[in-house]
Amino acid sequence: LEKTRKKIAKKKGNITALHENSRDSQKLRRAQNRDDKLQKVASARKKHDRPLMERAAFFQEAIRANDGKPLDLDTIQSLIKTFIHQHDEEFSQLKKDRRPGRPASTREDLLRIKIAADMKEYEDGFYLPELSDETNAVLLNRWEGSWSYLATIKWVRMTSKGEAREAKFPPKGES
């Protein structure tokens, strides 16, 4: 939009001659619509990427608590369970606060769905950074919060039985 506005401002002649359907006003409208569309796409992408960023941040804290060293399988399994059940307290509080006979609140429904989806994912293969690898632990420890850096980290799908399968980033359905 700024580029278009500058181009129109640099033109020779009377700039006040912009009327509703002039070429210049149409250019400005198209540029504004383009900017709005790009902003909408960026915010949708950010909303879509947020759960993976939160997941990476959670496991980064675990690596930092372990002084940047890799974790063993039992610790990883307990961290996954902690991650899955991190909303249980809020869920039970919402359930307790609800009057008998009343339908569940929207937030309560969302939490129930999220917890159930995470449990199902854990049975099938929970998507997380590889925490048992030395170099990957160092890379995750250095992560500063950018989306593009996450592609340099190795990711795995860990089942509830302890099996780990290599996965790609970003996940596209099942890997």
pTM above 0.85, yes or no: no
pLDDT tens series, the chain, 175 aa? 888 888 877 776 666 667 788 888 888 899 999 999 999 999 888 888 888 899 999 999 999 998 888 889 899 999 999 999 998 899 899 889 988 889 988 999 999 999 999 999 889 888 999 988 899 999 999 999 888 888 899 999 998 888 888 888 877 765 4
Residue 114 CB partners (closer than 8 Å, separation 6+): 87
Say if CB 59 and CB 79 are below 8 A apart: yes
Say if CB 143 and CB 131 are below 8 A apart: no
CATH superfamily for domain 50-167: Translation machinery-associated protein 16-like (1.20.1440.170)
Residue 58: name the closest of 122, 143, 125, 133 by CA: 143
Sheet holding 126-129, edge to edge: 126-129, 155-158, 164-167
At 5, the amino acid letter reads R
Residue 19 main-chain phi, psi, to 5 deg: -110, 175
